[in-house]
Structure 1
Amino acid sequence: MAAIGQETKFRVEGMDCASCASKIDTLVRRMPGVQDVNVSISAGTLTVLHTSESNLDVIERKVTGLGYAVASLTAKSGAPASDQLADHDHRTHSHDKKLAGLHGNDDAPMSGPWWNSAKGRLTIASGVALAVAFAVHYMWPATDPWAFIAAMLLGLVSIARRAVMAAVAGIPFTIEMLMTVAAVGAVIIGAGEEAATVVLLFLIGELLEGVAAGKARSSIQALTTLV
């Protein structure tokens, strides 16, 4: 007889696209004791139906390992309400600190203007680096393609780290891995300029996804307060 499932909901910050949701869904479904998974991009939540033998701390650590901040929204049974709230705040703060050490916190939520976010700063820095690389290319052609390679690496490091994290978690085929392989391959065939440009465009796309997702969540939250 199958064990009766329990439902636990997590808040996931930095999940801005269908690819992010798919990675989290695939990872959590593979974990022991998990019966069903529901990932909501608009709400920024992960709902897991699991047996009592499931280790929720391991689920949080695995999802955090992909580069997202995770905190449980479901109260622990048997604990006083005040302890549950304090534990939730502590866990949220702890996960935010962990995320700050991952690839420049570029998947952190945007609580202010996009240019003040880590992802926004990385995109701006990559754009400036690419502009400098073009200037160096025209003024000192002998330095080609090293200026473009440096500009590419500035943006690619965070992407490659996420690709490796997902691969270690058992999800090797991700958009980050595809971008990493494509950029490195372009450099190998002598197309450093194209590699740096593609990496910048990828970062811009991610930034726009984050801005759009943040506005959508804000609109949904504002709507729920009116209902």
Structure 2
Amino acid sequence: MGKVTLITGASRGIGYALALEMHMRGHHVIALARSEDKLQALKAECNDNRMECAVVDLGQPAQVDQFISALVDRGYTISHMINNAGALVNKPFGEISASELRHVYEVNVFSVFELIQKAMSVFADDIHVVNISSMGGFQGAQKFPGLSAYSSSKAAVASLTECLQEEFGEKGWSFNVLCLGAVQTEMLAEAFPGFKAPVNPSEMSTFIADFTEGAQKFIRGKVLPISSTTP
């Protein structure tokens, strides 16, 4: 089948643009999200069998298990994985509820951990896993009020990526994390209402696609800041 790329959070923003970009480059793309309508729109833009869309709630282990079982049954081997799904709450620290905190960590950390763990059986020998983090989770970068749950969860993803490279590097697997700066998405509007980013999702998707396809030859287990502005 050739290159099979799994992308999460593909229903909007960077994930949607990235699915289109990887498809354009000849990858067989499996796009995951919770919104069936938006995934159907993505599928319609490609109109061929190299774009597969799966409605999966990554916070539901049973759905993830079912999805991975389907990949095994169909003989798929994942050559590239981009964990892009994300959740954000923008509130003062003292007002963040336990359920809001758990939801952010469920999407941004636990689902990444669990999807990688469960998908290892279908990993190619030279798979490149790219986790999408944020400058908010990059150590030493400027932090902003209201984003303590989001930024701390993205920092956890960065550390997880380093751990995975250490544990599985000898297998030939590559793990990297990109800490993105401002990109003009719906999530940016939630975090910084009124702010205009210098980069749009299509531009960022081109960068991420380039990185995903070839950076593992030179970079493995690294946490990389990708930002031209603050925020």
For the criterion TM > 0.5, the same-fold answer is no
**Which has the larger helix fraction?**
1
**Which has the larger strand fraction?**
2
Please give the TM-score of this superposition, normalised by the length of structure 1. 0.28
